[in-house]
Amino acid sequence: MLFMVQMKVNPPSHLTKEEFDDVKVAEKNRALDIQRKGKWPHLWRVTGKYSNVSIFDVESNQELHELLSSLPLFPYMDIEVTPLNEHPSALKD
Ligand SMILES: O=C(O)CC1=CCC(=O)O1
């Protein structure tokens, strides 16, 4: 199942810059881990914003929720999930 996921980061005011930098390092490591498992095939920065647009390829809504909530930045992001279906006019491989 493919999902488009939009994540907008809201840096918390209660963490120091150093503490938030540590969260971002942990986030990067977790994101790389999920990508290496083939579950997160696209991760794009939205130009000019502290947000990303991603594609996740997972088995279920439950798996997507578990992956997203495992992200260290999860408490500091607004996340929008859009389920995707194959388009009938899309070129096949
Ligand atoms: O910076 C972001 O867009 C949030 C984020 C998601 C994965 C990652 O490494 O950073």
Instruction: Read off the pLDDT of residues 31-55 as tens digits, 9 standing for 90 and up.
Output: 999 999 999 999 999 999 999 999 9
Please choose, from the candidates 40, 49, 47, the residue with its C-alpha nearest in 3D space to the C-alpha of residue 5.
40
SS3 label, residue 43:
strand
Q: Is 7 in the pocket of ligand 1 (CB under 6 A)?
A: yes
List the beta bridge partners of residue 43.
Answer: 54
Task: Report ipTM (2 d.p.).
Answer: 0.97
Residues 6+ apart with CB under 8 A from 81: 3, 4, 5, 64, 68
- Overall pTM surpassing 0.90 (yes/no): yes
Q: Where are the domains of the chain?
A: 2-84
Give the sign of the dihedral formed by CA 21, CA 29, CA 41, CA 56. negative
Q: Is 31 in the pocket of ligand 1 (CB under 6 A)?
A: yes
- Distance between CA atoms of 30 and 32, rounded to whole angstroms? 5
Pocket test for ligand 1, best of 5, 6, 9 (most atoms within 8 A of CB): 9
Fold of 2-84: Alpha-Beta Plaits (3.30.70)
Q: What is the pLDDT of residue 93?
A: 74
From the CA of 7, how far away is ligand 1's center (Å)?
Answer: 8
Give the chain's residues under pLDDT 50: none
Pocket test for ligand 1, best of 6, 7, 32 (most atoms within 8 A of CB): 7
From the CA of 9, how far away is ligand 1's center (Å)?
Answer: 8
